[in-house]
């Protein structure tokens, strides 16, 4: 009898697809993406990339890409200029769990979040949001400065 545990989260059984880590690294190091939205693929038992946004896409494009009624994880590379006129970039991790999403989905994403988040090195801030007002651009500005 053998057990395969490698690469999974003991509480939820969710692993992290290599493509998810590679896509995040492209956002972090190469600035290929402005944002990445991840979803849990229950058939594969892992977190996979659902959508990416190019460097020219706006924050409005990012928030519009989050589903209204289902949970997701996302990362957003926020560029800004400090009061000292320095160009900066901060990476935000989002745990998106709309109040109208299914209980099962909320539980699955909640139990898998910590392990997935640990796989993404270099995250500056984390935002847990249940409605669009919690992901407004002002929230990022307040955290980043």
CATH number at 93 reads 3.40.20.10
Instruction: Identify whether 9 is part of a domain.
Output: no
Alpha carbon of residue 126 to chain centroid:
9
Total count of domains within the chain:
1
Instruction: Identify whether 7 is part of a domain.
Output: no
Instruction: Identify whether 140 is part of a domain.
Output: yes
Q: Are 112 and 12 in contact (CB under 8 A)?
A: yes
The one-digit pLDDT tens for each residue of the chain (145 residues) are 433 334 444 445 589 999 999 999 999 999 999 999 999 999 999 999 999 999 999 999 999 999 999 999 999 999 999 889 999 999 999 999 999 999 999 999 999 999 999 999 999 999 999 999 999 999 999 999 8
Instruction: Identify whether 4 is part of a domain.
Output: no
H-run or E-run covering 44: none
Quote the domain boundaries for residue 39.
Answer: 15-144
Instruction: Identify whether 5 is part of a domain.
Output: no
Q: Are 65 and 87 in contact (CB under 8 A)?
A: no
Q: Which CA distances in Å does 100 have to 18, 23, 71?
A: 30, 29, 10
Structure confidence at residue 125 (pLDDT): 97
Instruction: Identify whether 10 is part of a domain.
Output: no
Instruction: Identify whether 8 is part of a domain.
Output: no
Structure confidence at residue 12 (pLDDT): 53
Structure confidence at residue 10 (pLDDT): 42
pTM score: 0.89
Instruction: Identify whether 36 is part of a domain.
Output: yes
């Amino acid at each position: 009898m053998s057990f395969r545990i490698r690469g999974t989260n003991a509480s939820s059984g969710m692993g992290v697809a290599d493509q998810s880590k590679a896509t995040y690294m492209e956002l972090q190091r190469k600035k290929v993406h402005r944002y990445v939205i991840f979803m849990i693929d229950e058939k594969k038992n892992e977190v996979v990339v659902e959508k990416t946004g190019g460097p020219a896409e706006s924050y409005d494009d990012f928030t519009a890409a989050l589903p209204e009624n289902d949970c997701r994880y996302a990362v957003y590379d926020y560029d800004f200029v400090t009061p000292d006129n320095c160009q900066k970039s901060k990476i935000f991790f989002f745990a998106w769990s709309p109040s109208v999403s299914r209980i099962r989905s909320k539980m699955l994403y909640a139990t898998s979040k910590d392990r997935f988040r640990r796989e993404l090195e270099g995250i500056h801030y984390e935002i847990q949001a249940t409605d669009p007002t919690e992901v407004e651009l002002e929230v990022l500005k307040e955290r980043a400065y």
